[in-house]
Structure 1
Amino acid sequence: MMKKLTAAIATVSTLGFANMAHAESFDTAIGEIDASMTATLASDYIWRGQSQTNGAGAVQTSLDFAHESGIYIGAWGSNVAAEDFGGASIELDYYVGYGGAITDDITYDVSWATYTFPQGIDAVDEILASVDLYGFTLGAKYAYDPSSALYTYVGYGFELPYDIGLGLHYGNTDTKDPVGTSTANLEYNDWAITLGKTALGLDWALMYSDTDLGNDCTEIYVDRDSCDSNVTLSVAKSF
């Protein structure tokens, strides 16, 4: 299964959904392939508790292909705040990975991703791995080029009445090398609570997020408010 398929609401790094329930399946000479494209409008782009748009809105899109074997590839894009990314106003991410199931209640996912910022800061390469078991998600992301940073997280998602999903998320970032234009070696925590529901053919989400960065936020972003607590609303449509 695709990474976007197996990720719980609580563990997404951005506020948006790539809902593979709407995927189209195609029979090919090499087996069945699922394809999905998602468009998202969000009041902010939140990454590990931090705004990537200085509190402004975000337009995001994704395109994913998954083979029946569990192998998948995809791309994702969003606008970002140019002043925080070396002049880049767009982030374009590309990833490839493999996901599978051990039992009906235990699934796993491993992938490699590169995050690019055209005409801005250098691309960041990352290795990702996660396990979903009985509603919990345990995961780690290791960025190795050009910086060295480890992100570990735990999430828990479950269903409330009226088909409302509730996701809880807690993560830790341990940065050993400079991030963006920063010279700081930062370690901090982030957390989030997300409510999600499908209605009118759209995926809606409301998320509260925060970090314990405090004044260290200015080591990363021009705008100090980028690391303040956020309440973010998004709506997504999958095709």
Structure 2
Amino acid sequence: MKKLNSLFTSTHIFTAALVTALYSSATFADWSANISAVSDYTFNGLSQTQNDPALQGGVDKAFDNGTYVGTWASNVDFGGDTNLEWDAYIGRYQMLTEAVSIDYGIAYYSYHGGDDSSDGNYPEIYTKFGYASDYGNTELNLWYTWDYFGTGSRHAVAMIAHTFELAPNHNLRASFDVSNSLDSDTWVWRDENTSFYHYRLAYQTSYKGLDFEIAAENTNLDIDTADERIVFGVSKTFSF
């Protein structure tokens, strides 16, 4: 699993009782692990690594009833001592019809490296709708938190995306998302803006068990960690 946008962007610890309930809900489960290297770790178009590369990886367990639980980590750089993001999530994926799917759950983002890094920890709930057709796969994805980066601010993200199959094993994914601060007294973006938008166009393919993506993206924020950029990533998934 992943945090936000695509193959190479993160999803973003739950109580032992909740995880135990998940494990007892199904007899059989599948494990998987993933590792990826990216030229820049971007989150809604904002670099989390000061425009530098990142090494990322995660472990997931999926159950027969569509429930999954997992964890994911990446190096980060916000200009201070924080150098690690470590997330956990629990959710459920199910088909509503032959063409429409829903994926919903809760994630917890945690930060490490400095004495005050954990001040930025926060939870987030998400719902993702998918529609498969002869013209590709369409997504409507929604995220919401009531404690954005530990500030007590409510924050919401809405994304629409579509993946086109150019040819077998060659896909093009276009996405557009808007981030909205719902408490301007505690969180605003540059120049007192309460929202910003981000758009991304990515080419995706695989070769000899490796997944590759090259993406062009930009935002309407006028800062060097959120301007136009090309991001490259390579990923490997293991099943066991």
TM-score by length of 1: 0.81
Matched, 1:229 2:228: yes
| Letter paired with 2:165 | E
Which moved further from structure 2: 174-183 or 159-168?
Answer: 174-183
Q: Show the counterpart of 1:175.
A: 181
- Distance across 2 between alignment mates of 1:169 and 1:29: 35
Matched, 1:87 2:81: yes
Question: Within 5 A, what are the aligned runs for 1:144-223?
Answer: 144-145=146-147, 146-177=152-183, 178=186, 184=192, 186-214=194-222
- Distance across 2 between alignment mates of 1:48 and 1:125: 17
The 1:132/1:181 distance shift into structure 2, 3 A limit, reads closer
Q: Is the 8 A contact 1:149 1:174 kept in 2?
A: yes
- Distance across 1 between alignment mates of 2:129 and 2:175: 14
Q: Is the 8 A contact 1:176 1:185 kept in 2?
A: no
Q: Show the counterpart of 1:97.
A: 91
Q: Show the counterpart of 2:139.
A: 137
| Letter paired with 2:86 | L
Q: Show the counterpart of 1:219.
A: none
Provide the aligned length of Structure 1 versus Structure 2. 212
Q: Which runs of 4+ in 1 moved over 3 A?
A: 177-185
Q: Show the counterpart of 2:15.
A: none
Deviation at 1:82, TM superposition (A): 3.9
Which moved further from structure 2: 159-168 or 55-64?
Answer: 159-168
- Distance across 2 between alignment mates of 1:90 and 1:17: 13
| Letter paired with 1:43 | S
Gaps of 5+ in 1: 19-27, 215-223
- Distance across 1 between alignment mates of 2:41 and 2:28: 33
Deviation at 1:155, TM superposition (A): 0.5
| Letter paired with 1:212 | N
Matched, 1:67 2:69: no
Q: Is the 8 A contact 2:36 2:234 kept in 1?
A: yes
Q: Show the counterpart of 2:120.
A: 122
Q: Is the 8 A contact 1:13 1:47 kept in 2?
A: no
Encode CA deviations 1:179-215: one digit per residue, 9 max, x unaligned: 599895620110100111011220000011110112x
Deviation at 1:54, TM superposition (A): 1.0
Say which of 102, 109, 115 aligns to 1:108. Answer: 102
Q: Is the 8 A contact 1:44 1:233 kept in 2?
A: yes
Q: Is the 8 A contact 1:72 1:96 kept in 2?
A: yes
The 1:13/1:125 distance shift into structure 2, 3 A limit, reads farther
Matched, 1:12 2:12: no
Gaps of 5+ in 2: 12-23
| Letter paired with 1:66 | A
Whose RCO is larger (CA < 8 A, sep 6+)?
A: 1
The 1:65/1:182 distance shift into structure 2, 3 A limit, reads farther
- Distance across 2 between alignment mates of 1:181 and 1:88: 21
